[in-house]
Amino acid sequence: MPAAKLSLPQIQLLLGITALWGFNWPVMKYAVTQYPPLHFRTLCMLFGMVAMWFVARQMKVSLKVPREMWGRLALLCIPNMIGWHLFCILAVKELSSGRAAILGYTMPVWAVLSGLAFAHPVGRRGWVGLSLAMVAAMLLLSSEFAAIAGSPLGVALMLIAAACWGFGTTLIRHYPTGLHALTFTHAMMPPTIIVMGLAAFWFEGAEVGAPQGWSQWWPIFYNAFGVFAFCQVAWFSLAKSLPPVVSSLSIMIIPVVGVMAGSFFLGEVPHWPDFAALVLILGAMAVILVPGRKGG
């Protein structure tokens, strides 16, 4: 696999995703201590869907989905939206934000494994980059093994979420829709909101009131506008245009941002493996994205 060449808009999307999604891990951890997690995620999606509608109007992007695409969108929605968001938000309540972020970003492994089933090429660069990224993930987890052993449910939920995301990323490339990324994301929000809402009522009850005060509202607004209206749309844009191994490894810097943000805002102290992992992840991204002397 030759090095992937990213355009300037793709690089800008990656930088935005890295910052906003990385910071969101401690935001989510804070949020689920203030408000029930499933109700929180459902409200984020509701406001996020409204935000997407306003963005689409400003960009003059049609949100109409051809009838023949409904079945394909339903298939893509299950792992990419329902599976990822449902299991992820449940796991965050059980784990520190840093551990959740690291486990979530084992996603490239699942993307590669599922890609092999569809005969998606990985190549030497892909395997080297993947190996560096996974060594980095193990380093990030090295100081957390004892705590993780005490949270088996959280670990299982986060790994299921990562597997859903990786499998979904592969499906996006295998079953293209031709829709604008904003239309594609917006169309998958209603079924996801319904499932999340039903899960919220089932697991957390129907007596949960509306969020109270700014401490409960600001994480919802951050997720609605920053995560769903921008990051989710930007990610689907990249996932449609880049091979799964490239798109998944290109965002591996996010768990490092999550760990550092958790340290700054939640007092989760980083150690030397965190910095070593940063070097390895940068190396993995360089292997995938920086051309060699002969272009690959």
2 lies in some domain: no
User: What does the pLDDT look like over 92-114, one tens digit per residue?
Assistant: 877 776 667 777 777 777 777 77
Is 34 contained in some domain? yes
Give CA–CA dist 55/229, Å, rounded: 8
| Counted domains in the chain | 1
Asked whether residue 294 is domain-assigned, the answer is: no
CA dihedral 197, 202, 203, 207 (to 10 degrees): 80
Is residue 3 assigned to a domain? no
How many of the other CB atoms lie within 10 Å of CB of 203? Answer: 12
**Alpha-carbon span 27 to 101, nearest angstrom:** 12
pLDDT score of 296 more than 50? no
Q: Is residue 295 part of a domain?
A: no
Q: Does residue 106 fall inside a structural domain?
A: yes
296 lies in some domain: no
The answer to whether residue 291 scores a pLDDT higher than 80 is: no
DSSP H helices in the chain: 8-34, 37-59, 70-77, 84-94, 97-104, 107-117, 123-142, 145-149, 152-174, 181-204, 214-221, 233-241, 244-249, 254-266, 272-289
Domain containing 265 equals 8-289
Sign of torsion over alpha carbons 24, 25, 30, 36? positive
Identify which has the larger pLDDT, 57 or 118.
57
Q: Quick one: which of 114, 203, 193, 104 has its CA closest to 157?
A: 104
Q: Which of 126, 110, 144, 128 is nearest to 280 (CA)?
A: 128
Q: Which two tokens stand for residue 241?
A: 């245009």
- For residue 1, is it within any domain? no
Q: Is 104 helix (H, G, I), strand (E, B) or coil?
A: helix
Give 198's pLDDT tier (boundaries 50, 70, 90): very high
Give the SS3 label for residue 212: coil
* Mean pLDDT, all residues of the chain: 81
Mean pLDDT of 25-41: 89
